[in-house]
């Protein structure tokens, strides 16, 4: 009995509060908006925070090409592991989509590619690769950029720097300062660009500007990394939206791309994407690929199988591919209709501000220019949710909600000069 009491005291005395030092982490700025939106019971609430496509009634969409690809596949075919680098057929099709089937890099088999956990996972793999093999080179991120880019390169312990991108007065590209920053960066720095439909601004360089950037990159020996989350979502045509990538390729740059099928095929939760790195020859490509696999193995072992099969089926079946291209156009055109309606409606309410940028910007988002305080009023008084940067997801607006949104925007901006 006595021995039992001593033992009990010893056990309770040795109990350690392992996680005493753990404080609540800051919420993710985008996912926190959805949480707040879901907790709001106002019937007229609108969520413009998260970048997911919605139809004209505000409903999530499963593309018809995806449904038909599911039918063609005929249900789950395998539960086996994929190789560490994922489905090679998916990787090959993704590379062809972005780089062009006839590009030298593809024909010479010198693009190292592996399937990864969508765009986020692809960026993270690249950041890890960069730290391992180019630890001295910083990654330059545009200001602003998708907020998770900062988290990704921070957690990979890569030095981060920033470059000018957006011009607040003109609500367009700050091309002059961008070029200055590219020029002033130490030679052989890494720069992240959004291949098209820049998130959050909806502002891309023109073709001429891309050519100038590419030329300066040659002079400075910089490395261009493209986040390709919206190929097809800017113009409705994936070929056109690959223009920046192709310009850099034609100029002989060794580039890398993080590809995502979340937005362009509506496969958000399936986590389908790839990381690709252009190398000098097939031998180097094999070496780079093997290192990417070595990075992936202890993190998640291998990527999920089903989404890869779906994407591969859509890209290689001529009918499904045409259907996908047509559905992309429908999504882009619905967003553009909303841009026109929103701008017209704000102007019709008598706003004296210039709202041209709503129709000038492209892709899923509009960077409205609303201040954090104006956004707070939209949330608190009108139950309209968005990031405090004033970014709105155009795909979250419907013909039924556009006037309510326009009136609210007019209300919170009308006394501002």
Ligand X SMILES: Cc1ncc(COP(=O)(O)O)c(C=O)c1O
Please, are residues 126 and 276 in contact by the beta-carbon 8 Å criterion? no
Angle between helix axes 118-133 and 282-300 (nearest 10 degrees) is 110
Instruction: Give residues with Cβ within 8 angstroms of 400, minimum separation 6.
Output: 57, 58
Distances from the Cα of 73 to the Cα of 68, 69, 312, 319, angstroms = 9, 6, 11, 14
Report the residue number, 147 or 159, with the smaller CB distance to ligand X: 147
Which of 153, 210, 241, 263 is the catalytic position? Answer: 263
Element (H, E) at 25: none
The residue count for binding ligand X (CB under 6 A) is 13
Taking the complex as a whole, the smallest distance from the CB of residue 174 to ligand X amounts, in Å, to: 19
Report the residue number, 363 or 413, with the smaller CB distance to ligand X: 363
What pairs with residue 367 in β-bridges? 391
Which of 227, 241, 289, 324 is the catalytic position? Answer: 227
Report the residue number, 37 or 355, with the smaller CB distance to ligand X: 37
Residue with tokens 């079946």: 317
Taking the complex as a whole, the smallest distance from the CB of residue 355 to ligand X amounts, in Å, to: 23
Residue with tokens 């879901």: 38
Query: What token pair was written down for 408?
Result: 């609210």
Q: Determine which residue in the list 94, 235, 262, 368 makes contact with ligand X, applying CB under 6 A.
A: 262
Integer Cα distance of 278 and 299 in angstroms: 23
Per-residue contact track with ligand X, 95 to 114, x per CB under 6 A? --------------------
Taking the complex as a whole, the smallest distance from the CB of residue 268 to ligand X amounts, in Å, to: 6
Per-residue contact track with ligand X, 341 to 370, x per CB under 6 A? ------------------------------
The per-residue b/e assignment along 278-292, b for 16 or more CB within 10 angstroms, e otherwise, is bbeeeeebeebbebb
Taking the complex as a whole, the smallest distance from the CB of residue 236 to ligand X amounts, in Å, to: 18
What pairs with residue 256 in β-bridges? 225, 277
| Residue 86 lies near ligand X (rule: CB under 6 A) | no
Query: What token pair was written down for 99?
Result: 């780089």
Please, are residues 178 and 228 in contact by the beta-carbon 8 Å criterion? no
What pairs with residue 114 in β-bridges? 275
Which of 146, 153, 210, 324 is the catalytic position? Answer: 146
Q: In what order do the strands lie in the sheet with 160-164?
A: 111-117, 272-278, 256-260, 223-228, 190-194, 139-143, 160-164
Q: Which among 103-111, 117-125, 276-284, 390-398 is the span making contact with ligand X, rule CB under 6 A?
A: 117-125
Among this protein's residues, is 263 annotated catalytic? yes
Q: Determine which residue in the list 47, 199, 351, 393 makes contact with ligand X, applying CB under 6 A.
A: 199
Report the residue number, 236 or 307, with the smaller CB distance to ligand X: 307
Integer Cα distance of 274 and 211 in angstroms: 25
Q: Which among 21-29, 184-192, 212-220, 260-268 is the span making contact with ligand X, rule CB under 6 A?
A: 260-268
Taking the complex as a whole, the smallest distance from the CB of residue 87 to ligand X amounts, in Å, to: 16
Report the residue number, 50 or 295, with the smaller CB distance to ligand X: 50
Q: Determine which residue in the list 49, 85, 113, 119 makes contact with ligand X, applying CB under 6 A.
A: 119
Residue with tokens 């193995």: 297
| Residue 181 lies near ligand X (rule: CB under 6 A) | no
Taking the complex as a whole, the smallest distance from the CB of residue 272 to ligand X amounts, in Å, to: 8
Of the chain, the end-to-end C-alpha distance in Å amounts to 82
Given the DSSP bridges, would you call strands 391-393 and 365-367 parallel, antiparallel or unpaired? antiparallel
Per-residue contact track with ligand X, 31 to 70, x per CB under 6 A? --------------------x-------------------
| Residue 229 lies near ligand X (rule: CB under 6 A) | yes
Integer Cα distance of 154 and 55 in angstroms: 36
Among this protein's residues, is 18 annotated catalytic? no
Among this protein's residues, is 221 annotated catalytic? no
* CB half-sphere exposure, 28, CA atoms < 13 A: 13
Q: Determine which residue in the list 92, 115, 260, 361 makes contact with ligand X, applying CB under 6 A.
A: 260
Report the residue number, 331 or 406, with the smaller CB distance to ligand X: 331
Report the residue number, 54 or 194, with the smaller CB distance to ligand X: 194
| Residue 118 lies near ligand X (rule: CB under 6 A) | yes
What phi, psi does 301 have (nearest 5°)? 70, -60
Catalytic residues: 146, 227, 263
List interacting residues with ligand X (CB under 6 A).
51, 118-120, 146, 194, 199, 227, 229, 260, 262, 268, 273
């Amino acid at each position: 009995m006595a021995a039992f009491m001593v033992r009990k005291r010893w056990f309770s005395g040795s109990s350690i509060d392992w996680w005493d030092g753990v404080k609540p982490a800051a919420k993710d700025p985008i996912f926190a908006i959805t949480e707040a939106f879901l907790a709001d019971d106002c019937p007229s609430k609108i969520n413009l925070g998260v970048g997911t496509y919605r139809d004209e009634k505000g409903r999530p969409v499963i593309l018809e090409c995806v449904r038909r690809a599911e039918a063609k596949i005929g249900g789950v075919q395998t539960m086996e592991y994929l190789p560490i680098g994922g489905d090679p057929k998916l990787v090959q099709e993704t590379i062809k989509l972005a780089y062009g089937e006839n590009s030298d890099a593809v024909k010479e088999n010198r693009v190292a590619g592996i399937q990864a956990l969508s765009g986020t996972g692809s960026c993270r793999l690249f950041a890890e690769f960069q730290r391992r093999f180019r630890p001295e080179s910083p990654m330059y991120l545009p200001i602003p950029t998708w907020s998770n880019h900062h988290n990704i390169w921070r957690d990979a312990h890569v030095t981060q720097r920033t470059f000018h991108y957006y011009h607040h007065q003109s609500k367009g590209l700050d091309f002059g300062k961008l070029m200055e920053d590219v020029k002033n960066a130490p030679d052989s720095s890494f720069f992240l660009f959004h291949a098209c439909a820049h998130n959050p601004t909806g502002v891309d360089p023109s073709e001429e500007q891309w050519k100038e950037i590419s030329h300066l990159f040659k002079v400075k020996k910089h490395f261009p990394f493209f986040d390709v989350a919206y190929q097809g979502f800017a113009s409705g045509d994936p070929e056109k939206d690959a223009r920046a990538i192709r310009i850099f390729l034609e100029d002989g740059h060794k580039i890398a791309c993080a590809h995502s099928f979340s937005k362009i095929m509506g496969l958000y939760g399936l986590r389908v994407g790839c990381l690709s790195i252009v190398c000098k020859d097939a031998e180097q490509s094999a070496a780079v690929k093997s290192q990417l696999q070595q990075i992936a193995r202890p993190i998640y072992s291998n990527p999920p199988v089903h989404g890869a099969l779906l994407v591969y089926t859509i890209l290689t079946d001529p009918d499904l591919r045409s259907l996908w291209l047509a559905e992309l156009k429908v999504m882009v055109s619905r967003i553009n209709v909303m841009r026109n309606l929103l701008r017209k409606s704000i102007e019709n309410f008598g706003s004296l501000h210039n709202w041209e940028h709503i129709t000038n910007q492209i892709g899923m988002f509009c960077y409205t220019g609303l201040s954090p305080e104006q956004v707070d009023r939209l949330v608190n008084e009108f139950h309209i949710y968005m990031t405090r940067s004033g970014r709105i997801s155009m795909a979250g607006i419907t013909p039924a909600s556009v006037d309510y949104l326009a009136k609210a925007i007019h209300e919170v901006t009308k006394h501002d000069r």
